[in-house]
Amino acid sequence: MTESTPLIATPEHSVEGFVREYLRELNFSQGTVLERASVNDKYLALARTVRHYLMARWMRTTADQIRTQPKAVAYLSAEFLLGRQLDNALIASDLESIAREGLASLGVDLDELREEEIEPGLGNGGLGRLAACFIDSLATMSVPAIGYGIRYEYGIFRQTFVDGRQVEEPDNWLDRGSPWEFAHPEHEVTVSFGGHTEKYTDPSGRERTRWVPGWQVLGVPYNYMVPGYRNGRVNTLRLWSARATHAFDLKIFNYGDYAEAVRAQTFAENISKVLYPEDSTPQGKELRLQQQYFFVACSLRDFIDQLLPEGFDLHRLPERIVFQLNDTHPVIAIPELMRILVDEQGFEWDEAWDVTRRCFAYTCHTLLPEALEVWPVELMGRLLPRHLEIIYRINDDFLDEVRESSGGDELLVRRMSIIAEHPERAVRMAYLATVAGAKVNGVAELHSQLLRDKVLTDFADHFPEKFTNVTNGVTPRRFLRLANPGLSALITEAIGDGWVTDLDRLRELEPLADDAEFRRRFREVKAANKDRLVRLLATRDGIDVDPGTMLDVMVKRLHEYKRQLLKLLHVVTLYDRITSGELAVEDVTPRTVVFGAKAAPGYRMAKEIIALINHVGAVVNAHPEVSRVLRVAFPANYNVTVAETLVPAADLSEQISLAGKEASGTGNMKFALNGALTIGTDDGANVEIRQLVGDEHFFLFGLTEPEASAMQEAGYRPSSYYEENASLRRAIDLIAKGTFSGGDPATFAPVVSNLLDEDRFMVLADYQSYLDAQERVEAAYADPDAWSRSAVLNVARTGFFSSDRSMRDYLDRIWHAEPLPANGE
């Protein structure tokens, strides 16, 4: 790449220019003509056309970064849950209306082509989506940044239901062509595994260590554009794909063992084959550690070799880069950088450590102890023997420090060791990240506080200056501007369009909450969004939803801590009260309860809960009386694309995790920004949402974190709630006796006994409080004008949850990097 402005022919920003470019793509790239083109041909040609408009900005952004050598942010994440690319590229480049008009002049419908895109599902849920929001914000803020991750050939599985049970199907998102990526095999990187280490004496007489690997694979980078919103900037997301080394297959081919050569290739390529479909559940597979090291080793090598000028003095690395570790998945980057500096660059240990500990910062995403990653020493030693040695040395030095500062408190030393001794010797990745990282952050105020007080307490005492908070955010481009065009237009009409990149300006809507005409138009938008959702559910899932009902939505990964069961017990209780005659249909606010959730395929209880939701739904929806006022809709395969239609249509947002378990949540932010009211516990970012929107516009219920902890400590007995609360008992009995499983009590017995015997997430303890809060919801919903006033205030007061603000906080508190000037065009 030269340092001068690259020469790129950008097509003309006009309908004619667009049409010319589009036809050229259709003819010369797709190799077809309009009359014979399939919908997929037309989509691919459109994607490439839009891409061309962004190309010059992309190349200029890269050239500027190479020329000015600013400090950059490298966001290391095993997941990027991007969602569809076309829509976002269209709004970023201000091509929406040009594309629509241009295509229409050819008799092509833009909306039909948008539906053709399969979203890249390279993430499980919130963590991966957060990474996608963050790189969007960094690009929009002109911050020199690069995202590094894995180009999984198969992303998160496609979910279908058979007899109400989850069935997983492979997500072959690359099959129909992938117009948004650029492969660069010429920049492939070699990654080593296995083997052993040995000592040797270098020419200057120094005793050193080298790693003699057992096997190697290649990492091929695929670049994706990350367009900033109308600021002339396009950053890069670089995802790595694994290939067999050429030497490997050539040698075996020469021996004539074709089958062995192919096997070796398959073995290597397995590394980037599939995303692990896990989220907040324990995970300890060898292939997963291979994936982690693979993408991190590629990324470090790439940054040092490709993005730094030749001969750069690596002692100054912290001036040029900060690697943000998105959870523990990339933490193996820490010993990898040490290895590069000490073994390859000849740094003294202390020099290397001084550089390394200023290059990394760590974001913790959980409070569940079982979700904190540990790798058995045996496995680490077999796969990455040199890294294990380096981790031991880091640990020895650190524990000496702890010993000294604590006056030899050996209990403390053992507690803080990076190496756990029980149940087996294992590397605690969160501890390694905390010891080495310059900063450690939680993702909401409450979460950061609990991290300090409960999870990493000893470390917070030892390194108080390291700990900080950055509350998560979501990108307003995708989750408001794109997902909710109706509300976007209404907001822009009222306050101008500055909010898209400065979401605090939504505050200017506050006075309009008292404007009856504005509220009426707000309700019109909500009604139109509901109609849009109804059409989607009808065509996509064959689900019939009445748009006149309250839309009560709970969409997120299926996990016991998130408590989909609590929502379901509410549904069962309503069913029970109506069928028993306790409640007259006329007195019930008609509602549609929408669930969306994937369960990790190996998480048995989560899959049982999915089946139970579907079975309850089938009975409720088939009941002549009940279904007049209560319906359950559970569209399969919840993903970003579905979220974009669901969130703007929702009236009520369910954020009902047990307090102290949800680190932040981001779904909660998307709903509030789109004018849904939240029913929620005092957990994660719900706390901040409630503080901002005000108690009277939020339905709070449930135990607080200190109450829940105290109750657990005193010995929580779920069965006592069952015994003492008749309504709860009846709901559980209905499930237990087989009402929702064709009369078979065995079907859901594991769910019932889990609730009655253990109930780790205290569903029964919060049941009554939740029901009471739902009664307040009904009362509030009965007054549409007051409800929409609250909804408008939710929109006006939640601009804080823009990921642009999160990025500003990271820049100020953690990264200390500066944006480039926007690229005026």
Ligand X SMILES: *Cc1c(COP(=O)(O)O)cnc(C)c1O
Distance between CA 798 and CA 689 in Å, rounded?
Answer: 7
Measured from the CB of residue 743, what is the shortest distance to ligand X in angstroms? 35
Residues in Cβ contact with 770 at an 8 Å cutoff, skipping those fewer than 6 apart: 566, 570, 656, 679, 701, 702
Q: Is 367 in the site for ligand X (CB under 6 A)?
A: no
For ligand X, which residue of 318, 381, 667, 799 counts as binding (CB under 6 A)? 667
Residue 668 contacts residue 653 (beta carbons within 8 Å): yes
- Min dist CB 643 to ligand X, Å, is 4
Whole-number minimum distance, CB 158 to ligand X, in Å? 13
Judged by CB under 6 A, which stretch of 124-132, 167-175, 201-209, 311-319 contacts ligand X? 124-132
Which listed residue (233, 365, 386, 477) is catalytic? Answer: 365
Distance in Å, CB of 563 to ligand X, minimum: 12
Using CB under 6 A, which of 666, 678, 741, 790 touches ligand X?
666
CB 268 within 8 A of CB 244: yes
CB 364 within 8 Å of CB 444:
no
Kindly report whether the peptide bond that precedes residue 423 is cis, defined as omega within 30 degrees of 0. yes
**Helix 763-781 to helix 564-579 angle, to the nearest 10 degrees?**
60
Task: Let me know if 661 is a catalytic residue.
Answer: no
Give the HSE-up count for residue 672: Cα atoms under 13 Å, Cβ half-sphere: 34
- Using CA atoms, how far residue 423 sits from 331, 381, 392, 416, in Å, is 22, 17, 19, 16
- The closest of 455, 430, 478 to 119, measured between CA atoms, is 478
Which window, 26-34, 543-551, 639-647, 802-810, contacts ligand X (CB under 6 A)?
639-647
Please state, as a whole number, how many other Cβ atoms lie within 10 Å of the Cβ of residue 813. 14
Binding segment (CB under 6 A) for ligand X, from list 18-26, 111-119, 612-620, 659-667? 659-667
184 is catalytic: no
Query: Quick check: is 666 catalytic?
Result: yes
272 vs 666 by CB, closer to ligand X: 666
How far separated are the first and last CA of the chain, in Å rounded?
A: 21
Lookup: tokens for 645: 């239609």
Q: Identity (one letter) of the amino acid at 226?
A: V
Task: In angstroms, give the least distance from the CB of 557 to ligand X.
Answer: 6
643 part of the interface to ligand X, by CB under 6 A:
yes
Which one of the spans 106-114, 524-532, 637-645, 726-734 is the region binding ligand X (CB under 6 A)?
637-645
User: Which of 11, 102, 125, 227 is close enough to bind ligand X by CB under 6 A?
Assistant: 125
Question: Is 670 considered catalytic here?
Answer: yes
The set of residues, in sequence order, having a beta carbon less than 8 Å from that of 471 and lying 6+ positions away, is 443, 444, 445, 664, 685, 688, 800, 801, 806, 809
Residue 455: DSSP 8-state: I
CB atoms within 10 A of CB 606: 22
Which string of x and - marks every residue 583-622 that binds ligand X (by CB under 6 A)? ----------------------------------------
**Segment 157-216, which members bind ligand X (CB under 6 A)?**
none
Residue whose C-beta lies closest to ligand X: 667
Residues 6+ apart with CB under 8 A from 820: 61, 64, 65, 68, 70, 142, 143, 144, 233
Q: Residue 65, interface with ligand X (CB under 6 A)?
A: no
- Least distance (Å) between residue 665 CB and ligand X: 4
Q: Which stretch binds ligand X (CB under 6 A): 122-130, 137-145, 224-232, 673-681?
A: 122-130
Which H/E stretch holds residue 158?
strand 158-162
- 482 near ligand X, judged by CB under 6 A: no
Instruction: Respond yes or no: is residue 365 known to be catalytic.
Output: yes
Task: Give the residue with the Cβ less far from ligand X, 321 or 643.
Answer: 643
Q: Which is nearer to ligand X, 131 or 340 (CB)?
A: 131
Given the rule CB under 6 A, which of 253-261, 296-304, 607-615, 638-646 is the region that contacts ligand X? 638-646
> One of 475, 666, 678, 747 is an active-site residue; which one?
666
Site size for ligand X, by CB under 6 A? Answer: 12
Question: How far apart are CB 607 and ligand X at their closest, in Å?
Answer: 18
**Applying CB under 6 A, does 679 fall inside the site for ligand X?**
no
CB 139, CB 65: distance < 8 Å:
no
Find the binder of ligand X among 57, 60, 129, 631 (CB under 6 A). Answer: 129
Is there a contact between 740 and 748 (Cβ–Cβ < 8 Å)? yes
Q: Which is nearer to ligand X, 232 or 667 (CB)?
A: 667
Between 648 and 819, whose beta carbon lies closer to ligand X? Answer: 648
Residue 218 vs 553, nearer CB to ligand X: 553
Question: Would you say 634 or 721 has its CB closer to ligand X?
Answer: 634
For position 640 contacting ligand X by CB under 6 A, the verdict is yes
Residues recorded for the chain:
825
Cα–Cα distance, 525 to 493 (Å, whole number): 13
Which residue among 48, 57, 129, 670 is the active-site one? Answer: 670
**Single-letter amino acid code for the residue at 68:** T
Region for 554 from its dihedrals, namely left if φ exceeds 0, alpha if ψ lies in -120 to 50, beta otherwise:
beta
Measured in degrees and rounded to the nearest 5, phi and psi for residue 182 equal -125, 115
Count H helices, E strands: the chain?
A: 33, 25
Tell me how far, at minimum, the Cβ of 680 lies from ligand X, in Å.
11
Q: Which of 639, 747, 788, 806 binds ligand X (CB under 6 A)?
A: 639
Task: Determine which one of 452, 519, 557, 789 is catalytic.
Answer: 557
Which residues in the 529-568 window bind ligand X by CB under 6 A?
556-557
Closer to ligand X by Cβ: residue 145 or 643: 643
Q: Closest by alpha carbon to 73, among 439, 346, 341, 471?
A: 439
Is the torsion defined by CA of 417, 422, 426, 429 positive or negative? negative
Smallest distance, ligand X to C-beta of residue 610, A: 15
What is the C-alpha to C-alpha distance for residues 671 and 475, in angstroms, rounded to an integer?
A: 13
Torsion (CA) 94, 238, 74, 143 in degrees, nearest 10: -20
Residue 684 CB, nearest approach to ligand X (Å): 8
Q: Is 805 a binder of ligand X (CB under 6 A)?
A: no
Question: Does 126 contact ligand X by CB under 6 A?
Answer: yes
Between the alpha carbon of residue 668 and those of residues 256, 337, 443, 459, 468, the distances in Å are: 59, 37, 14, 30, 22
> Of 508-516, 570-578, 600-608, 665-673, which part binds ligand X (CB under 6 A)?
665-673
Shortest Cβ 745–ligand X spacing (Å)? 32
- Contact criterion met (CB below 8 Å) for 490 and 648: no
Does the footprint of ligand X cover residue 665 (CB under 6 A)? yes
Nearer to ligand X, 341 or 640 (CB): 640
**48 vs 690, beta carbon nearer ligand X:** 690
Q: What x-and-dash track marks residues 274-293 binding ligand X by CB under 6 A?
A: --------------------
DSSP 477: I
Give the interface segment with ligand X, choosing from 169-177, 378-386, 510-518, 663-671 (CB under 6 A): 663-671
Residue 556 catalytic? yes
Euclidean distance between CA atoms 87 and 149, whole angstroms: 22
- Cα Dmax for the chain: 90
Query: Least separation, in Å, of the C-beta of 685 and ligand X?
Result: 9
Q: Which is nearer to ligand X, 342 or 650 (CB)?
A: 650
Q: Do 561 and 662 touch, CB atoms closer than 8 A?
A: yes
- Min CB(483)–ligand X separation in Å: 10
- Residue with the two structure tokens 């976002």: 88
Closer to ligand X at the Cβ: 144 or 665? 665
Query: Which 3-state string (H, E, C) describes 96-149?
Result: HHHHHHHHHHCCCCHHHHHCCCCCCEECCCHHHHHHHHHHHHHHHCCCCEEEEE
Q: Footprint of ligand X on this chain (CB under 6 A)?
A: 125-126, 129, 556-557, 639-640, 643, 665-667, 670
> Which residues are identified as catalytic?
365, 556-557, 562, 666, 670
